[in-house]
Amino acid sequence: MNAYIFPGQGAQFVGMGLDLYEKYPRAQELFESANEILGFTITDIMFEGTPEALKETKVTQPAIFLHSVISSMVMDNDFRPDMVAGHSLGEFSALVANGTLNFEDGLNLVSKRALAMQKACELQPSTMAAVLGLEDSVVERICEETEGIVVAANYNCPGQLVISGEVKAIETACEKLKEAGARRALVLPVGGAFHSPLMEPAREELATAIENTVFNDPKCPIYQNVTTTAVNNSDEVKKNLMAQLTAPVKWTQSVQNMVKDGAILFTEVGPGSVLQGLVRKIEPNVKTTGAILT
């Protein structure tokens, strides 16, 4: 069975999508439509902007979504997923790819998500940190014992977990994690504490937008970040998507469940190859590849 996986924030690069725009008339139409929907020319920033401009959350998230979704749309008959999953933002790309959301609604939700997260980031100084070389249970315990808000946010693969929370709490936790034997505990250059309780204002704002959007039943199961198991029902998809911003991204567990349910090939659709690397660390015996566009 073929699992299609979609990357999240961090996979962006200047020039992303230009090859699609130049090669496929359908891609050109979709990119031009995106410029109208967003109210600014995102293609200029994606194709020839500066890395700094592309790093702005309001740009990054729609840019990655567009690259992923348009790639899946121009694959035509080659795009035949048995199951899908996306890492954080990538979950929205996955939901368009499996027919749960249409292109326009997906892009609108991603844009609203990015702006809501940006606002939440500005309310309180917060950040994230990557922790390498410790058992998840040790990281979770140290987060619980640290004063202030700090939680496990991204279960990326065994031995690689990202924590999220208030700046001071993150710094304290990093020191404790190093003392506990972490190979690295490195504060990341991000503007906020994604997938933590500090995203609650953004969660509320996005939940309203999700509630007012039409969701279809998926054409194939999606393994969502919050539950990690196959979801085939549109109401359940909505509920999980509403919870996603303040809940951890359980990527390790999602991939394990996909393999348990028969996935033997993981195809990453979108910029970069980060997810392929994570999948190989989680399940070394499966095959991974990037989307092949003909």
Q: Which helix (H) or strand (E) holds 230?
A: strand 230-231
Residues 6+ apart with CB under 8 A from 8: 64, 86, 87, 88, 89, 90, 249
Q: Is residue 17 within 8 Å of 60, Cβ to Cβ?
A: no
CB count in 10 Å sphere of residue 276: 17
111 in catalytic set: no
Within its chain, how far is the Cα of 248 from the centroid? 11
Residue 66's closest CA among 82, 50, 36, 78? Answer: 36
Q: Is residue 158 within 8 Å of 190, Cβ to Cβ?
A: no
196 in catalytic set: no
Identified catalytic residue from 68, 71, 72, 88: 88
By three-state DSSP, how is residue 131 classified?
strand
Identified catalytic residue from 71, 195, 196, 254: 195
Q: Is residue 180 within 8 Å of 138, Cβ to Cβ?
A: yes
| Active site amino acids | 88, 195
